[in-house]
Structure 1
Amino acid sequence: MSIWQFAESMPQDRASNLLGWINFEEISKLVAAGEILRFTWEPFKTERWLKGCMRALFVLKVPPHVYDAFFNSPEGYRAQYARSVERGTAANRSLLTLAESRLLAHEQVRQAVAAGEVEMEHLKGSLRALDAKLWIVEDEATMRHVNAPGNEILYPVWAKSRIDKGQRAPQGTLLDIKGGWLDAAGHERRDDWKAYRSEDVHCTGWT
């Protein structure tokens, strides 16, 4: 996107690299090939209406330049949502589909299924659920950067938002893949607190 630019605080070589990515498909292939560090069949942790539900959680490690392209480039994940909610939703789904076979074949997944901790069909259902998504791992160092003052990404729509986080460009290597929440019967239960996630990323660059 020609209207997606970077502030002067961004090192010129980094900005040039981010502007050099051609399309989201190129980035998706690199993300989907990332190292799978961890799998968890994760329980919903609070007393809200989803108590008792479970979802798939994977942590991927990708090279720093792939992380940067995924999250901060004008062809990356957030940039797809910036164009439109529909385009972001389609990009999210295409990347999940691209990664699915590797995720389900992971050794920790096979062990969990063999031990009866989770059914393979439930895992597939979680990854294919409407609320399944990707995002950066929001660890302490990442959020310290995100919450720091100053804009790094200059995108006019996000500049109008009261939320400054979307205009920051954190660096790292870790990404989350979070499936949708399923009840004991394997049916998706949507989280009302995340109902407007796509719209939030579209309007503010953050969720």
Structure 2
Amino acid sequence: MIEWGYSTTFPNERAAKLLAPSTIGTIANRIAAEMEITCCHFQTCHDHSDFGRVVYCIRVSEDLFDLFFNSPHGYRGAYYRSRGEGINANAVFISTLAPKLIARSAPGASMEELTRIRESLSSLSAKSWLAENALGLCPECEGEWGNPTDFCADIINGRWEHGDSGPQCSGRKAPQLTKIRIFGAFLDDRNNEFIPRRKRNRAQDIHSFGWS
């Protein structure tokens, strides 16, 4: 088991729940069963207007979000162990949710649009993360996360609590939120994939800092 714990000010009951054995597959199945899909949008890439992606926002309970985002067995915990485990966990998570996400897109969507959505969700750079502020799509997408107001570490794992860079100041935190976003890959009308330069090292960033 990896070295992963929480600060001395972290609630003991919450820490015990997060450290209880689980897997990303178990967490993903719970989210798929319990989530509320609040909205679905198509977003054009700011870096290359020929490419666009599907974006979903879902809502879950705080406890379930906690397991997903702040547990060593969850999404970021997988990236902490290695970039490869993180990429695999991301694929498991999105593929588990995809059938219900696609069904939510179905009313009024053409077969061509549904095919593109499936391709976007199954492509390499599809990803998930907490709902940050200022995405600017609709009120249901409004993010719950802003930059931390202190530098105190919640998560203690021998890596993320060290240093004072912007990503680590966020990565060491364990926010209790309810919204998760799922982003498809940016595709053009021939399903070519585009990854913005700032996100090409995403797996390494989360591994190193707990944030990207």
TM, length-normalised to structure 1: 0.89
Q: Is residue 190 from structure 1 mapped to residue 192 from structure 2 by the alignment?
A: no
CA distance in structure 2 between the partners assigned to 1:21 and 1:172 by the alignment? 21
Secondary structure of 1:36 counterpart = strand
Q: Percent identity at matched positions?
A: 29
What CA deviation, in whole Å up to 9, does each residue of 1:28-81 have, x standing for no partner?
Answer: 11122311110001112x3x3x22311010001111111000000111100000
Where does structure 1 differ by over 6 angstroms across 4 or more consecutive aligned residues?
none
Q: CA deviation at 1:166?
A: 0.8
Q: Gaps spanning 5+ residues in structure 1: where?
A: none
1:20 paired residue number: 20
CA distance in structure 1 between the partners assigned to 2:155 and 2:177 by the alignment? 16
Q: CA deviation at 1:2?
A: 4.6
Within a 5 Å distance, the mapping from 1:149-160 to structure 2 comes to: 149-160=151-162
Native 8 Å contact 1:147 1:165 kept in 2: no
CA distance in structure 1 between the partners assigned to 2:16 and 2:187 by the alignment? 42
2:39 paired residue number: 38
1:122 paired residue number: 116
Q: CA deviation at 1:12?
A: 1.3
Of 156, 178, 182, which aligns to 2:183? 178
2:11 paired residue number: 11
Q: CA deviation at 1:141?
A: 4.7
CA distance in structure 1 between the partners assigned to 2:2 and 2:107 by the alignment? 47
Secondary structure of 1:206 counterpart = coil
Secondary structure of 1:164 counterpart = helix
Shifted more, 176-185 versus 133-142: the winner is: 133-142
CA distance in structure 1 between the partners assigned to 2:151 and 2:194 by the alignment? 37
Q: Say what the alpha-carbon RMSD is for the aligned residues.
A: 1.7
Q: CA deviation at 1:155?
A: 0.9
Q: CA deviation at 1:185?
A: 2.2
CA distance in structure 2 between the partners assigned to 1:195 and 1:112 by the alignment? 34
Amino acid at match of 2:7: A
Q: Gaps spanning 5+ residues in structure 2: where?
A: 134-142
Q: CA deviation at 1:170?
A: 0.5
Native 8 Å contact 2:98 2:121 kept in 1: yes
Native 8 Å contact 2:186 2:195 kept in 1: yes
Within a 5 Å distance, the mapping from 1:30-69 to structure 2 comes to: 30-33=30-33, 34-44=35-45, 46=46, 48=47, 50-69=48-67
Q: CA deviation at 1:99?
A: 1.0
What CA deviation, in whole Å up to 9, does each residue of 1:157-197 have, x standing for no partner?
Answer: 22334322111001111000000001122221222220000
Native 8 Å contact 2:24 2:92 kept in 1: no
Within a 5 Å distance, the mapping from 1:50-89 to structure 2 comes to: 50-89=48-87
TM, length-normalised to structure 2: 0.87
